[in-house]
Amino acid sequence: MREIKHPHAELQVYRDIPTLSRAVADEFIRVGRAALARRGGYAVALAGGSTPRASYALLAQDERGKGTGLAWDKVEVFFGDERPVPPEHLESNFRMAQEALLSHVMVKPERVHRIRGELEATPAAAEYESAIKTTLVNSVRDIPSFDLILLGMGPDGHTASLFPGSPALQETTRLVCANWVEKLGTSRITFTFPLLNAAAQVLFIVAGADKADMLRRVLKGEPSGATYPAQKVQPTTGRLLWMLDEAAAQQL
């Protein structure tokens, strides 16, 4: 692993995706153990995508083998965004996490809080925001605070389901909202910046050469001053960590 200096974040670069995935799994365990030791609970928001899936599978493998050292019955699992699909759908972030991780560990079903993508997006978002407010005990400026939020970044600079030009980028009061994504022709349900930035730690996981140009733009800035959604994730008092593979970091 090598580190790259950045004024507003920690950047860690790993040689390849398997090494990155292992490091992400280890960080998930480290943060969880610390939270459980400190307050007896661990609130985490999972991300979708192929790289997180590999890390989830490693966590499941660890639990079956040597054990993760996590009291899974005290873990509260949420999701940073969801597609407008039912839980059994192939595109469901919940289904991916369930198959890769959640069905292999002793997490309590009532502590796995899925976004009900089968509902209309606006009521589903309101329901999910209510669940977060009811469940999370820590807060930053009266906003619920996750111990860890996992995020990815798309080649267009989007994160969660906060896409360039989408209305949720301007949201300042709601914590979860239905976000119309013009290029997809649909609404997605997503965490907003107020909730993301209240987290104790946000972890971006970015891999692949197709992300290299955008990663440079996001982390180094545009001369024109243009901004991308991922740039607006700046935890108020928490830690911001980017974990990258060498292919994604090649332009940094």
Q: Would you list the DSSP string of 212-245?
A: HHHHHHHHH--TT----GGGG---SSSEEEEEEE
Per-residue pLDDT at 230: 98
In the prediction, which pLDDT does 222 show? 86
List the chain residues with pLDDT less than 50.
none
d(CA 161, CA 192): 9
What stretch of H or E contains 209? none
10-245 CATH: 3.40.50.1360
- 54's tokens: 């590999």
**Cα–Cα distance between 6 and 156 in angstroms, integer?**
21
In the chain, the largest separation of any two C-alpha atoms, in whole Å, equals 51
Tokens representing 55? Answer: 């890390």
What is the structure's pLDDT at 32?
98
